[in-house]
Amino acid sequence: MTIDPSAEEAVLLDQLRAMWARRDPVPVDLVDRVMFAVWLEDLDTEVEMLTMTAQSGDLVGVRATQTARTVTFSTDDLSILITVSDRPEGRRRVDGWVTPQGSGEVTLRRSDGTSVTAPVDADGRFALDDLSPGLVQIVLRRGDADPLVAAPPIEL
């Protein structure tokens, strides 16, 4: 035993912690995705999760250079198709179509907890403009008796 190995042990553990934090860092969007998941879970209401069934362009991960990207989210009896287009100064626009058509309200929630809401018209169309880029989650509210419908987070 050398002089005061316990102090050296504490230093070593601190250095190990720093080392692992650097070598095997937390995935960049893990915190955001967890926040979306717990937010939905915390809503105290029934939520139906959509899955991504088709996409063109790169909505997730590395940003595509193309100006419009479309993605479809579906369950057995409902689907939402959205098109994301680039706007000046790095802003984004989202156009969406809900099938079967019917009015309602769509909310786009950002990972910082803020959200924007837009009406869905009787034809199932909605539009959200002048959006900042980043990870968002789309949530559709139809009739009061219907469960909320949520899509997995996507990168605008």
Partner 1 sequence: MTASTRGTALTDRARDLFLAWSDGDARALDDLVKLLTPMLWHLARSYRVDHSEAEDAVQNTWLALVRHRGSVHDAQAIVRWLSVTVRREAARQAQRNQRMAPVEDAEVDAHLPPVDGPEVMVIDLADSSVLWRHTAELSERCQHLLRVLAFSDRPDYRHISDELGIPVGSIGPTRGRCLDKLRRACVADPEWSWS
State the nearest-atom distance from the C-beta of 155 to partner 1, in Å.
16
Stretch that binds partner 1, among 9-17, 52-60, 125-133, 134-142 (CB under 8 A): 9-17
Question: From the CA atom positions of the chain, what is the Rg in Å?
Answer: 21
Q: What is d(CA 16, CA 87) in angstroms, rounded to the nearest whole number?
A: 45
Please choose, from the candidates 28, 37, 89, the residue with its C-alpha nearest in 3D space to the C-alpha of residue 60: 28
Cβ nearer to partner 1, comparing 32 with 86: 32
Stretch that binds partner 1, among 20-28, 49-57, 84-92, 140-148 (CB under 8 A): 20-28
Q: Which of 3, 4, 28, 30 binds partner 1 (CB under 8 A)?
A: 30
Residues in Cβ contact with 70 at an 8 Å cutoff, skipping those fewer than 6 apart: 54, 55, 56, 57, 81, 82, 83, 84
Q: Which of 4, 42, 89, 144 binds partner 1 (CB under 8 A)?
A: 42
Per-residue tokens: 141: 């509210």
Cβ nearer to partner 1, comparing 17 with 87: 17
Please classify residue 52 by burial: count the beta carbons closer than 10 Å to its beta carbon, then call 0-12 exposed, 13-18 middle and 19+ buried. middle
Residues at the contact surface with partner 1, assessed by CB under 8 A: 2, 5, 8-17, 19-21, 23-24, 26-27, 30-31, 33-35, 37-39, 41-42, 113
